Structures are given as structure tokens and as C-alpha cells.
Amino acid sequence: MPPILVTPTPITPASTSYSLSSAGSIQASGVGGTVSGSWMVERQSLDIAYSRVPSVQLISEDITLSSTTATHSVTQSHVLCQVYASYSKKHEYGTYASSGWVQTQKFSIEPASGDYLGNTYGTISGTMLGPAGHIVTTQPWYSRRTWDPAIDTESTTASSMYSFVVTQNLYTTSTSQIAQGSYLNDFKSVCLAADFPGTFLFNWSPQTSTQWDYYLPGGYHTGQETEAKVLQYIDRMGLKVSNLDLYQLSPYSTLPDAGIPEYSIGRHDYT
């Protein structure tokens, strides 16, 4: 049975300690309740399509003249993802009730009930990612103040990036990169390297290299997840965006160099 989308979960932690900034704050009030002018308006957004994948190792093997058996175990799981991030600073004109406004960035999780093969791993509830799904910005970060021509310059950046890279040649990073999209859900390409005993790959099979984000030990079940780990994962992906620590779409570099330096996780709000 294919996985289904679980009811989206707005991120509203029980603990308020995860708040990084206050939402909807007025920087200054306007005279008479309306202010017209020339404004500097910044916006940022982040959406993540993710899939949890396993790492395995060969435990035992038995070979006879008539049969063979091999036993593997899952040693850990981690998350691969495609990230879409955007940032803009624009020069706008308009009339508002205040001379400044800041609106923080909020998220919602849209988990799937199972992995791409239809396997399930326990009940999905509260703030957890499950085996696959999406994290979406439900309220983009927004900041408005008076435009200052001495320091302000318009800019718009939007990029689709990955937390992993897929290569054909296992022994050099100079090889051409393979498009990552079809490998977001491919356990064989990521679970055991081609040069390890018991691998499922051939020497020239495409292989996924990852950074082991949101690592969980052993075989995965939903009881391993915690609210804190999920929020740390979102911030970690946002930090990778600002640090240019993600991979571009094929056929670009096989080194992590993609991101948006203007993006800031200090604008995330989990209240």
C-alpha cells in the first residue's frame, strides 16, 4: 500500500523555550495610524522535501555449493532532503499603520504514513517527521522599515538544493554528478557503499553520499523522534542554506557550495 499524507502538523511545541524571536512586532508607530513612504521589505522562506534512509552492515554470510545466505542489519538511519529556499530585499511603496513591522517565520510538517515502499514504522503524531514528507513555511519571515538608499540595495535569490550528492565513479570526486531527484527515495544507493562487504551495488552503480543529518541509531521507529530533534533538524538545514553547505542540482560541483548567505535561522519561530 502506498504511503498517504498524514494530517499536516503546525509546529507548536509544548515548551516555549524554542522561540527564537517574537512574531508580529511593531518597530515604530505612525502618526495618526497611517504612514506612507518608501520601504525596505525583506522576506525569506524555506521548504524541505525529506526522506529517511538506512545505513546497513553485513553481519554474516554462508556459502555452500548449493546455496548462499547473507544477513544484514540496520545500524542507523538519517534524512536526505531537497531544500527550496528564498530571500529577497525589495524597494516598495505603500501606506501602513506603522513605520515598521517584523513577522517571524513559521513552519508546518506534512509527514507521510510510510516510506516509498509502503512500509510503516509506528504512529505519527505531534512534532515528528516520520519516514518521509515535507516541511513547509506557513508564514514567511517579513521585515519592513524605511528605505535607506545609503545602505539598501534590492536583491532576490531563490534556489533548489540537496543535502546529498549522487556520483557514478566511487573513487574520485571529479566525476560527473548524477541528478539527485530520483535518488531521494532509493535505499540501495545509500545504505552500503560499493566497496564494503555485502554491498548491493556494483563498482559503477550510482552511489549517494550524504552528511548524515538527523541521525538516529539502529532500526528506525517513530518512538525515536523527539520535538527537540525535529526543530534542531529544521534549524540545521537553515544553517546549511546560510553557510552554502548544500549541493547544487546536477551537473554542477560534487562539493557542497550551494546556499543563500542572507538566510538566517534567527528568524525561525516555533511558538
pLDDT for the residue 255: 73
pLDDT in tens, 224-267: 999 999 999 999 999 999 999 998 876 656 678 899 999 999 99
Domain ranges across the chain: 9-267
pLDDT digits (tens, 9 = 90+) for 65-123: 888 888 777 889 999 999 999 999 999 999 998 889 999 999 999 999 999 889 999 99
pLDDT of residue 128: 93
Tell me the pLDDT tens digit for each residue of 131-183: 999 999 999 999 999 999 999 999 999 999 998 877 765 554 445 556 677 67
- Which pTM does this prediction carry? 0.82
Q: What are phi and psi of 58, to 5 degrees?
A: -80, 125
What pLDDT does 101 receive? 93
